[in-house]
Structure 1
Amino acid sequence: MERFKRSKAVTIKVGISACLLGDEVRFDGGHKRSAFCADELIRHVEFVKLCPEVGIGMPVPRPTIRLENHAGEVRAVVPKTGADVTEQLSQFADKAQPHLRQLSGYVLCAKSPSCGMERVKLYDPATGYAKKEAQGIFVRRLRELHPALPLEEDGRLNDAPLRENFVMRVFVYHAWQQLPRPLKKADVLAFHTELKLLLLAHNQQQYRALGRQLADQQQLDENFAKQYIEGIMAALGQPATRANHTNVLQHIQGYFGNHLNKDQKAELSTLIMDYHDGVQPLLAPLTLLRHYLREFPNDYLQGQRYLNPYPADLKLRYAL
């Protein structure tokens, strides 16, 4: 069974800056509709739209907000009026907690003084000079409240590897959220096992370290669970390399050694090395491996999220 279908009956909720779904809530009365979110990802998740500026009572259209450096402290200021809305934007995240706790990911509007994840302009109020070195006030508080929550910006979703990585993390985090509470060690061990090949493609050291920590636990308290899932999401957030993917593909290949003839083994080996050398996309050897898995079922491999981490119709591995 494909891994993402496990939670099919449970809606995956993803937060999103409202302007990215076409809501005309930006300072100029416009929007920044994300085609990937609004046309593709929406088929598999329920978006929860939030706009911090509107949420704190600012009108549409409205005067612009900018981030300013005041004695080393980042403040959100309305230059036209001098109003400081830092606390309101930060507190909006706290007030939105009933929504945020349900989320398995969040798509944010880039460059926004409230929602920008990185490289938001930070102004020197004395000179007007700006450096792209800040993060938005709302997202800063969001990270404090939910450090394991997968986050991504709309612009970065145009990059195929970043888009694939974000969606993969959303589905993994959702699977974690669906584990029965209070957590049982057996359930977390099963979750960790399902992630083995996926983690090996992203961070082998973290996979082994987290596995040792989990094995050492007699009871899983809330503090360990928090550290564990933060470690998992940090590991998966690291880009998977071609070398690591190749090692994982060859590991999977080994499970079919007694079933394939000489020509089949050679074809599969060539396809894997073509991927390693950049001649073929990751999808090519994966498709052949999944074919052999259907022909020669293996419980361990069928339980690995690496082979089917999200719905195939999102076409996320075509360009990897």
Structure 2
Amino acid sequence: MNEKIPVGISACLLGENVRFDGGHKRCNFATDELAPYIRYEPVCPEIAIGLDTPRPALRLVELQGGEVSLNFSNGKGEPMTRQMRSFSQRKVATLSHLCGYIVCAKSPSCGMERVRLYQPDSNVNRKAGRGLFTAELMAAFPWLPVEEEGRLNDAAIRENFVERIFTLNELNQLWRSGLTRSKLIAFHSRYKLSLLAHSQKAYRELGRFVAAIDNWDSLEAYTCEYRQRLMDLLKNQATRSNHTNVLMHVQGYFRRELNSPQRQELASLIDHYRRGLQPLLAPITLLKHYMAEYPNSWLAQQRYFEPYPEALRLRYGH
């Protein structure tokens, strides 16, 4: 997991002065904290279709029949819909290698959700649109982790996004190394505790799907379906109750090795996490100490204990 991960990003979020007003929307989390692990591939769709900066702002306009047009907000000039859709299709076709994408919120080209959708010839609008480039991206790659920079200020959303891009990167690396059934089953085994923390129900369903791998004639087709199911499962934010369930499950591996005071200390720490009195990092740190003292090969290979670099400090606060 040492190779930098390819992630797309709206160019303005890297500090490039490409916005309609000549400015940028630099995202500190992306540029400062995540950057050591990521190889960013910046795109500004509006610059790419030949617009200058600064320029009149664009807006999404809702037409009859549900069609959407990309117009200049000042009412001048021809719509840029055809150019934007054509560029988006061409560009997205080259992005299947990405493991994630960070887009600029509210943008008529890049916004992921709640982009203002205007009525023709008025300022009446509703927050129901999606930027044309991002719509093409998400339709082409429904498994791809996509987030807006503003939503990444939420600690739970940020951790979920980062975990997904690191997971997808590992799966893609496995894919490039040559698919085998044993490799896929081993990959799934490494993520069992992580998946259990996200959704117990979906974890069981995916487990049944993995158990049926031999029923598929095409391993490539199977892996495509597995990728979609895996990433759909991970979209569910890991919950405190599910983490507690995982921690108690891991605790059981040490019931013979630990003495009574040690067992009580660990159980108390897990309960304190359950009640919100300790961050997740606290019981995990103690469990990793016992894993080093009493090695277990299955636990040692679980991504749950380090789903991303610890230096990102994403488990410190919850």
TM-score for both structures, normalised by structure 1: 0.94
- Quote how far apart the aligned CAs of 1:205 are: 1.8
Give the letter aligned to residue 112 of structure 2. M
Structure number with greater CO (CA < 8 Å, separation at least 6) is 1
Mapping for residues 94-243 of structure 1, pairs under 5 Å: 94-97=89-92, 99-181=94-176, 182-218=178-214, 219-243=217-241
Distance 2:97 2:223 in 1: 17
> Match of 1:318, SS?
coil
Mapping for residues 1-320 of structure 1, pairs under 5 Å: 7-8=1-2, 10-71=3-64, 72-80=66-74, 81-97=76-92, 99-181=94-176, 182-218=178-214, 219-320=217-318
> Match of 1:224, SS?
helix
Distance 1:222 1:167 in 2: 26
Aligned positions, number: 313
Is the CA contact 1:117–1:152 (under 8 Å) kept in the aligned structure 2?
Answer: yes
Is the CA contact 1:202–1:241 (under 8 Å) kept in the aligned structure 2?
Answer: yes
Distance 1:28 1:18 in 2: 14
Deviates more, 1:155-164 or 1:122-131: 122-131
Gap regions ≥5 residues in structure 2: none
Give the letter aligned to residue 157 of structure 2. L
Give the letter aligned to residue 40 of structure 2. F
Is the CA contact 1:183–1:220 (under 8 Å) kept in the aligned structure 2?
Answer: no
Q: Sequence identity, in percent?
A: 49
Distance 2:83 2:288 in 1: 51
Is the CA contact 1:108–1:117 (under 8 Å) kept in the aligned structure 2?
Answer: yes
Distance 2:161 2:111 in 1: 16
Give the letter aligned to residue 307 of structure 2. P
- Quote how far apart the aligned CAs of 1:139 are: 0.6
* Deviations 1:256-285, CA, capped at 9 Å, x for gaps: 111111111101101101111111111111
> Match of 2:51, SS?
coil
- Quote how far apart the aligned CAs of 1:217 are: 2.6
> Match of 1:100, SS?
coil
Is the CA contact 1:184–1:220 (under 8 Å) kept in the aligned structure 2?
Answer: no
Is the CA contact 1:275–1:285 (under 8 Å) kept in the aligned structure 2?
Answer: yes
Distance 1:117 1:90 in 2: 16
> Match of 1:83, SS?
coil
Distance 1:319 1:90 in 2: 41
Distance 1:205 1:262 in 2: 33
Distance 2:69 2:187 in 1: 41
* Deviations 1:183-236, CA, capped at 9 Å, x for gaps: 221111111111111111111222221221222232444333222111111111
Give the letter aligned to residue 55 of structure 1. A
* Deviations 1:76-112, CA, capped at 9 Å, x for gaps: 1123324222232233233224651221111110111
Distance 1:93 1:75 in 2: 14
Gap regions ≥5 residues in structure 1: 1-6
Give the letter aligned to residue 49 of structure 1. P
Distance 2:220 2:88 in 1: 22
RMSD over aligned CA atoms reads: 1.4
Is the CA contact 2:92–2:137 (under 8 Å) kept in the aligned structure 1?
Answer: no
Give the letter aligned to residue 92 of structure 1. F
Is the CA contact 1:185–1:220 (under 8 Å) kept in the aligned structure 2?
Answer: no
